[in-house]
Amino acid sequence: MPIAIVLALVVVGSVLFHLLSPWWFTPIASNWGYIDDTVNITFWITGAVFAAVVLFLAYCLLRFRHRPGRRAAYEPENKRLETWLAIGTAIGVAAMLAPGLVVWARFIRVPADATSVEVVGQQWQWAYRLPGKDGKLGAADTRDVSDTNPLGIDPNDPRGRDDIIVQGGELHLPVGKPVALLLRSLDAVHDFFVPEFRAKMDMIPGSVTYYWLTPTRTGSFEVLCAELCGVGHPYMRGTVVVEPEADYQAWLAQQQTFEQMQAPAKTGALP
Ligand SMILES: [Cu+2]
């Protein structure tokens, strides 16, 4: 009896903890509400199964407790029960996996009007590259990295000359406009994660991974590296500022281009 009560309390406590926990989603700041939906579906299914199994255990402890003179029946096979358990489990697993596949397909299908913004991860800091006046990013290769070219932009690609480079500072994005985030790493595997955007993806040295999002509200959001990338991993943080288009354009105008970075003496952009 005491064990059955403890099991029932575990179920009640788990449900209460889930509902009253302060460690819930931060208020969302992107179009990816679908991600929250898939997480919630998983919570509902796993939570209902957990509660049902533990309560069934408590019931069995009471109902089939030891009584003098009563013997347990030996029944190792039960075709009907096994069939229903297999069908129920299959439906539950499919219900948890299928929505994720649908959301993933949307997550990586970049809309045609999205602006490309590059995020470069490096032990242990973030850098960003935004297209200049031509609206296009130039080619880049880690082999081109040097003191005056920290992101390895191809110096022979004319599209890259006006690219805007933000190193170690904040990334600004206009609210309500879709952005494609092109993710690159110069060394280890990193992962660009902004919890309020509900979006993250690994950055693999030698390739460009990507996802897209539309920021839906203004504010300052923390960037975290979500892949263990060395001793400085916990300090690999940054800030994304989502702001109205006019503020964003004003910020953009103050940033330096790759050309200015290459020839600081000529343009006087750097001290
Ligand atoms: Cu990292």
Q: Please check whether residue 72 lies inside any domain of the structure.
A: no
Q: Both 103 and 128 in a single domain? A: no
What does the pLDDT read at residue 157?
Answer: 84
Q: State whether 124 and 258 are in the same domain.
A: yes
Do both 145 and 186 map to the same domain?
A: yes
Q: How far is the CA of 10 from the centre of ligand 1 (A)?
A: 38
Evaluate whether residue 235 is within a structural domain: yes
C-alpha 75 – ligand 1 centre gap (Å) = 55
- Phi first, then psi: what are they for 188, rounded to 5°? -85, 180
Which of 188, 184, 198 shows the shortest CA–CA distance to 150? 184
Question: What does the CA dihedral 263, 133, 243, 221 come to, rounded to 10 degrees?
Answer: -50
Q: Prior bond to 212 cis, omega within 30?
A: no
d(CA 66, CA 57): 15
Residue 135 backbone zone (phi > 0: left; psi -120 to 50: alpha; other: beta)? left
Distance 185 CA to ligand 1 centre (A): 9
In this predicted structure, which of 38-42, 75-79, 110-114, 156-160 has the lowest mean pLDDT? 156-160
Which residues are placed with Cβ below 5 angstroms of ligand 1, an ion? 190, 225, 229, 236
143: containing domain: 115-267
Q: Is residue 126 one of the residues assigned to a domain?
A: yes
DSSP 112-169: TTPEEEEEEEETTEEEEEE--TTS-PPPB-GGG-BTTBTT-B-TT-GGGTT-EEEESS
- Centre of ligand 1 to C-alpha 67, Å, is 61
Confirm whether 69 is domain-assigned.
Answer: no
Q: How does 125-138 read in b/e, with b if 16+ C-beta sit within 10 Å?
A: bbbbbbbbeeeebb
> DSSP 3-state assignment of 174?
strand
Q: Is residue 176 part of a domain?
A: yes
Q: Are residues 130 and 246 in the same domain?
A: yes
Q: For residue 271, what pLDDT band results from cuts at 50, 70 and 90?
A: low
| Sheet-wide strand order for 219-225 | 171-174, 237-243, 219-225, 190-194, 199-203
Which string of b and e fits 232-241 if b means at least 16 CB within 10 Å? Answer: ebeebebebb
239 and 145 in a common domain: yes
Q: Token digits for 51?
A: 């509660």
Q: Both 151 and 94 in a single domain?
A: no
Are residues 20 and 46 both part of a single domain?
A: yes
Least confident stretch, 37-46, 144-153, 207-216: 144-153
Shared domain for 129 and 259, answered yes or no, is yes
Distance in Å, CA 239 to ligand 1 centroid: 14
CATH code assigned at 218 = 2.60.40.420
57 CB neighbour count, 10 Å cutoff: 15
CA 226 – ligand 1 centroid, Å: 7
Query: How much distance in Å is there from the Cα of 91 to the middle of ligand 1?
Result: 37
- Per-residue pLDDT of 93-150, as tens digits, reads 998 899 999 999 999 999 999 999 999 999 999 999 999 888 888 888 888 888 888 8
Q: Is the domain of 146 the same as that of 55?
A: no
Q: How many domains does the chain have?
A: 2
> Is residue 27 in a domain?
yes
Residues 93 and 149 in one domain: no
From the CA of 195, how far away is ligand 1's center (Å)? 15
pLDDT of the residue at 269: 52
State whether 29 and 126 are in the same domain. Answer: no
User: CA-to-CA distance for 45 and 53, rounded, in angstroms?
Assistant: 12
How far, in Å, is the centroid of ligand 1 from the Cα of 220?
20
Measure 199 CA to ligand 1 centroid, in angstroms: 16
Cβ within 8 Å of residue 160, ≥6 positions away: 137, 138, 139, 140, 153, 154, 258
Compute the distance from residue 211 Cα to the ligand 1 centre, in Å: 18
Cα of 62 vs centre of ligand 1, distance in Å, is 52
Same domain, 126 and 176: yes
Least confident of 48-62, 107-121, 149-163, 242-256: 149-163
Q: Evaluate whether residue 254 is within a structural domain.
A: yes
33 Cα–ligand 1 center, Å: 26
Share of the chain above pLDDT 90, in %: 65
The answer to whether residue 47 sits within a structural domain is: yes
